[in-house]
A and B are shown apart, each in its own frame.
Chain A
Amino acid sequence: MYVQIKGLNFKYKNSKEKILKDFTIEIEKGEIISILGESGSGKSTVLRLISGLEVPSSGLIRINDRVIVDNNTFVLPEKRGIGMVFQDYALFPHLTAAQNIKFGLKKLTKKDKNKRLQEVLNLVNLEDFKDRYPYELSGGQQQRVALARALAPSPSLLLLDEPFSNLDADLQCKIREDLRKIIKQTGITSIFVTHDREDSKAIADRVVILKEGQIVRVGKPKDILD
């Protein structure tokens, strides 16, 4: 298995109850997983644990045979090579779209950086907007910049937190299609979080239904969502 998450337990410092209980799942390479749940069920928390922004109280995460968390290992977020698209994108307001995208490419030479920038701009179809600042972009464009920024360093796993929550309803349909295409084109393994069953149906290979921090069902969208 490419991604292996076993028995994750977690609680925030100031919360009384466990936010996640025994979260376990295995993901194949190139698979798109969707975590579906109501607001407050702990979806974002799962992503924060995988990306290393929070420390689980117990459990194990292994990606491509490398342990990133267990009882005596903790790999810092910047060392994990996991890309993340945040719920409200978190584009750096002081940088242009192109600078945002190049932000994670610190190891490359200048020439390689620009080459990679061109590739991902192509992928998300944003060549004409690369010199704009985030506030000069529409919601859909911002989302694509955020996606491009997360993909640029070629992460081993891509996490997306409610990628559609900030978009208009009509836009959502079209962008779902685009997103699935882009992800499949890169072949990257992804986990995306949503509270909308339609999102899961349209994009996911497999759905995980989360309720109050516990997985209640896992399966193909057509099997468990129809």
Chain B
Amino acid sequence: MLTIRHLKLNLNIWAVLSFIFILLVILPNLNIVLNVFNEPNENWNHIKEYLLKDYLVNSVILITFTGFFTIIIGTSLAWMISIYDFPLRAFFKWGLVLPLAIPPYIAAYTYQGLLNYTGVIQTFLRNSLNISVQQKYFDVMSPEGAIFIFTMFLFPYVYIITKSFLEKQSAALIENARVLGRNSFEIFLYVVLPVSRAAIVGGVSLVILEVLNDYGVVKYFGIPTFSTAIFKTWFAMGDLDSAVKLSAILMCLVFSLLMLEKFLRGRKKFSYTTAKYSPISRIKLEGIKGKLAFGYCLMIFSLGFLIPTLQLVHWAFLTYQSILSIRLLGLILNSLLVALFSSSVIVIIAIIIANNCRINENLLSKIYSKVTVIGYSIPGAVIAIGVIVFFVNFDKQLFWFYKMLNPNSSKLVLSTSIVMLIFAYTIRFLAIGYNSIEAGFEKIGTKFHEASRTLGMSVTRTFFKVDLQMLKPAILGGFLLVFVDILKELPLTLILRPFNFNTLATKSFEYANDEMIHEAAISSLIIILISAISIYYFYKVGDKED
């Protein structure tokens, strides 16, 4: 029953703004759906006949093996860190999150430079030990190499989610199993894995989405996948129709995976907590066992963070004279400004939509929150196509207006500006900001809002005087996560940036692709440094607050 009284409750500025934002997120993606059914052209028939199978097989191989290995590494580390005590455990607890600070494409060319014929390792073996190795064992530019890179730099997603689940999980379950006479490994296999299934699936699906989104690694290694194919059909061949068709197939793959995720997660939400929260009392590992645990963590930490970072530092020393210049400053400024501005936009939109969902509980706002979150599962290449088509159409519609302002105006205004890039970032990363802020709202609940209302404050005044104040930590957290993601982002930035606009990420990638890996070091290190600080803040400092 919708009466005037209900309308009065629900129709406010929050609902209206949310509606507009959601529409803007949906429209570009709708373009893809609409264009899928265009008549297939010759090129498409060629792709379908000879190439499509390769793209599919490669993508499936990459996600399957990366998924498998990140589960093994992520859960084993989560288990060790939450239940055992061993040397440097406290350091590894957050140190093992750091591989997230290194974008996989940077890791890819760092490892390539490290392992190739002229790299440190082979040079050392050759010159000091007089050993020459078979090149094929040192070749990372292969699907196996890509799986290695993805695994080492994406496993923290599984690790973080599983670890925080295990920490919240009441210790009773594990202690019971122990009392029943099972050893640790059996408990891990028969109790921990099944119980944390939902958490693991949640983490691994993030990994898989990242792999499907990746463009940098597969392009650099020369592995044909959907991402590279979409780029190639569109730029090298200028065939937008076929690129749209490829995007649509990729989206089908993504959605099947999301369905699979839902199914595998079962009915359990992975954030469930039992009423009583009691921390696990950790077992101290003595002697050789302690050393083994330490060694394992150290190995993963070295491969995923220490080694590539040191290598980059070394290269930075070789090249800083030619690289440190006003141009580098320009790059840094570009990156920071775009990331800061876009993150602010994203956080503000996320706050508005989340607040609307909270105060206007109805079907529409439930749909909003679903749509908001979907953006993150759409690979960058697909968003890029949707956004470009959208903006070019938009420019066509607005041409009369541009002419009115400036008689010599060119046909394309918005679609050659930075607005398009920021718009695309917003679609892709809104989910990250939204999740953080929604969790913040959930934590503070509705009672403070209600108290303020009964004290005579309207929804909007309450928002500024109460909700926003209490939401600060969540806003900061969401902002940081989005900021780092934008700083590292490659495919969208590559396609949608205005002419001659470079960021740290695009410049590093360009250097690496032009066989100037050493020159890429400094901009890569800046990205890694900023990301590492933000991640440290988010996971270490944010952790303490709870």
Give A contacts to B, CB under 8 Å. Answer: 13, 51-53, 55, 57, 69, 71-74, 76-84, 86, 88, 90, 92-94, 103-104, 106, 149-150, 153
Contacts and interface: CB of A to CB of B under 8 A. Distances in A.
Contacts of B4: 72, 74
Nearest to A101: B455
A141 B129 CA distance: 77
A193 to B, nearest CB: 15
A93 B456 contact: no
Given A86-B447, A88-B447, A93-B470, A77 B453 contact: yes
Nearest to B6: A55
B457 interface: yes
Contact of B451 (A73, A82, A86): A86
6 contacts: A72-B3, A74-B4, A83-B454, A86-B447, A92-B466, A104-B455
Contacts of A72: 3-5
B445 to A, nearest CB: 9
B447 A92 contact: no
B456 A81 contact: yes
Contacts of A53: 450, 453-454
A72 B151 CA distance: 61
Contacts of B454: 51-53, 77-78, 80, 82-84, 150
B3 to A, nearest CB: 7
B453 A94 contact: no
A55 B458 contact: no
B11 interface: no
A90 B450 contact: yes
B8 interface: yes
Given A53-B454, A55-B5, A150-B455, 19 more contacts: A13-B361, A57-B1, A69-B5, A74-B8, A76-B8, A76-B453, A78-B457, A78-B458, A80-B454, A82-B454, A83-B454, A86-B447, A90-B448, A90-B451, A92-B448, A94-B469, A103-B455, A103-B465, A106-B461
Given A57-B1, A74-B5, A92-B466, A84 B456 contact: no
| Majority secondary structure of chain A interface residues (helix, strand, loop or mixed) | loop
Contacts of A90: 447-448, 450-451
A170 to B, nearest CB: 27
B311 interface: no
A13 B6 CA distance: 13
Contacts of A104: 455-457
* Interface hub of B361, B447, B454, B462 (most chain A Cβ within 10 A): B454
Looking at chain B, what size class is its interface with the partner chain? 20 to 34
A103 B469 contact: no
A89 B375 CA distance: 39
Pairs of residues from A and B, 5 with the lowest C-beta to C-beta distance, nearest first? A104-B455, A74-B5, A90-B451, A77-B453, A90-B447
Interface in B451-477: 451-458, 461-462, 465-466, 469-470
A161 to B, nearest CB: 10
A149 B455 contact: yes
Contacts of A106: 456-457, 461
Contacts of B3: 71-72
* Interface hub of B6, B361, B452, B453 (most chain A Cβ within 10 A): B453
Nearest to A87: B447
B9 interface: yes
B8 A153 contact: no
Nearest to B7: A74
B451 A74 contact: no
Interface string B511-527: 00000000000000000
Given A90-B450, A92-B451, A74 B456 contact: no
B473 to A, nearest CB: 11
A73 B9 CA distance: 11
Contact of A78 (B5, B6, B447, B456): B456
A94 B1 CA distance: 39
Contacts of B6: 55
Contacts of A76: 8-9, 453, 458
A57 B361 CA distance: 17
B81 to A, nearest CB: 31
A94 to B, nearest CB: 5
* Interface hub of A69, A73, A77, A150 (most chain B Cβ within 10 A): A77
